[in-house]
């Protein structure tokens, strides 16, 4: 059985065909989801040298999650003080 080719194995064990189909579909979905996140989400950083602090460019009114229930953004006073001290 170890010497059989892939298609010969599928021809001999037809019950593996749906299993391979579902695993392939799951792998394709995972690849598609990761590429979607890489290209459209602002929290994924590809170019680290272009902008060292990309989180400051995020629109607080735009939802960053798949589901955001009652999302409110409030600035943190301590963080604002630190930003002013760093400038």
- Domain definitions of the chain by residue range: 1-42
pLDDT for 39-83, tens place per residue?
887 666 677 677 667 677 777 666 666 666 776 777 778 878 888
Q: What is the pTM of this model?
A: 0.49
Q: Give every CB contact of residue 41 below 8 A, 6+ residues apart in sequence.
A: 64
- Dihedral over Cα of 61, 67, 70, 75: its sign: negative
């Amino acid at each position: 059985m170890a010497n059989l080719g892939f298609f010969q194995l599928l021809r001999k064990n037809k019950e593996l065909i749906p299993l391979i189909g579902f695993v392939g579909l799951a792998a394709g979905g995972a690849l598609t989801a990761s590429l979607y996140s890489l290209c459209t989400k602002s929290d994924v950083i590809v170019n680290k040298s272009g902008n060292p602090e990309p989180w400051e460019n995020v629109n607080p009114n735009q939802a960053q999650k798949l589901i955001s229930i009652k999302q409110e953004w409030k600035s943190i006073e301590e963080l604002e003080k630190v930003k002013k001290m760093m400038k």
